[in-house]
Structure 1
Amino acid sequence: MRPKIYLFGDSITEESFRDGGWGASLANLFSRTVDVVLRGYSGYNSRWALKVLDRVFPAAESGGSDGASPPPLAVTVFFGANDACLPDRYAAFQHVPVDEYQQNLHSIVSSLKKRWPKTLILLITPPPIDEDERLRKYSGCRHPYAENPSGLPERTNEAAGAFAKACVETAGECGIPVVDLWTRMQQYPDWRKAYLRDGLHLTQDGNKVVFEEVVKKLNVGGLSLEKLTVDLPLLADIDQGDPLKAFQW
């Protein structure tokens, strides 16, 4: 049975298997070695993620010697973009205070570590926010989930930065790796247009940044492609004169 890498997060994870998405790129990179399993939930914050954790990762998948599925090699945990919605704006129902967000991440990581002690847990911070683009997209019109009578963006880059900082701090406290996407993306001068398609969600170039940063952290954690076992014989390893010999287990 192939090992797994789970991607657990909000819409930026849910969309990651789209054309050019960071999840799809991971699945392509690890083809024939690892199953990349998508567990993305659009609109979810860390509070809701913690609430559904046991449904997303049922006890039957805890792994062990009882014949259950083996533990995954890695789990990415990518929440915070919705937690960072401002509490006095139209998406306030998604807001989570930053101190609770940090505690929720601790609880999620702790639960995953207890379930799978040897699994690599990787946190990813929320991305930066282009407030002007959020305004252009929803000012004067109905947001898919709420009215926006104030004409103000539901998120700010400053708020997203506070949650990114909390995510980085949590990773340090838990002794696990983190991708600081908020800082990494803003190192590029034209990050707003290059990496964000609506002020929040990622363009293909933005997805590429996530993919590259996640791969770096996986490699540092010992999950490089070169160290993984290919599933079933490669074509190059099959004897043309006796093809079935390769399938004698």
Structure 2
Amino acid sequence: MRPKIILFGDSITEESFDVGGWGAALAHHFCRTVDVVLRGYSGYNTRWALLGMDKIFPVEDGASSPIAVTIFFGANDACLSDRSSAFQHVPLHEYKQNLNSIISLIKKRWPSIVVLLVTPPPIDEDGRLRYPYGDNHGVPERTNEAAGAYAKECVTIGEECGVSVVDVWSKMQQFPDWGKSFLRDGLHLTPSGNKIVFEEVLEKLKKAGLGVDTLPVDLPVFSDIDPNDPLKAFQSSDISSK
């Protein structure tokens, strides 16, 4: 069976298999070597994600361990507690505890798995005003300052747990006009924003030894198949990525 990379997160992960999405780009990149499995849940925060862990990551007899998982939460946790998305808000200290618990549960189940945290993206507050969630009386339900606090905590958690972190909050803001270039509604990603996430995730996976040049393919590439003796290629124990 092919190894698996699981994408676990909120709507930014759920939408990642849309046209131009970062998950679809990963699936294409690893098309001969890895099954990229989507576990994205729109609107979820870390509190609700933690409650669903047993169903999201069931113990399956005989199933192979996934080789990597991305954990991409915080955009909803960082909703302001006094505005229309307050029901999604998770205090910063609990966000840290929840992420620690999620990482611990995954590592306990699959000790050798590569865990990759992804910070919440920056927030374009003007974009949120143009695409509001509920009636916030002219103010956004999310702010970039709040998202930044959760992103910083995510980076700290990665350091404490010894796992890699993709800091998209910081990365995206290195570019001019990032709010309109990378975020279609002040929060969710444009194709350009998806490209940033894809490239950053791919770089971290490569550093962890998970690249198409190191992972074997499950069946021989056609150039290795002798049309006069095709069985030989399929019986080879040295099928490697090309």
1:1-249 matched pairs, under 5 angstroms:
1-60=1-60, 68-138=62-132, 143=133, 147-248=134-235
Within 2, Cα distance between the matches of 1:116 and 1:71? 6
Higher deviation after alignment, 118-127 or 230-239: 230-239
CA RMSD of aligned residues (A): 1.1
Q: Which SS does the other structure have where 2:52 is aligned?
A: helix
Aligned to 1:114, the other structure's residue is in SS state: helix
Q: How many corresponding residue pairs?
A: 236
Per mean C-alpha deviation after superposition, the further-off stretch among 160-169 and 149-158 is: 149-158
Q: CA deviation at 1:247?
A: 3.2
- The runs of 5 or more residues in structure 2 that have no matched partner are 237-242
Q: Given the two structures, how large is their TM-score scaled by the length of structure 2?
A: 0.95
Distance 1:152 1:56 in 2: 35
Query: Percent identity, aligned pairs only?
Result: 66
1:27-56, Cα deviation, whole Å (9 max, x unpaired):
001011000000000000000000001110
Amino acid at match of 2:227: Q
- Give CA deviations for 1:112-142 in whole Å, capped at 9, x if unaligned: 000000000000000000001110122xxxx
Task: Determine the structure 2 residue equivalent to 1:64.
Answer: none
Once the two structures are TM-superposed, the CA of residue 234 in structure 1 deviates from its matched residue by 1.0
Q: Unpaired segments of 5 or more residues in structure 1?
A: 61-66
Give 4+ residue runs of structure 1 displaced > 3 Å after superposition.
none
Per-residue deviation, residues 223-243 of structure 1 (Å, max 9, x unmatched): 121110011111001102222
* 2:240 equivalent in structure 1: none
**Matched letter for residue 168 of structure 2:** L
Q: 1:149 Cα deviation (Å)?
A: 4.8
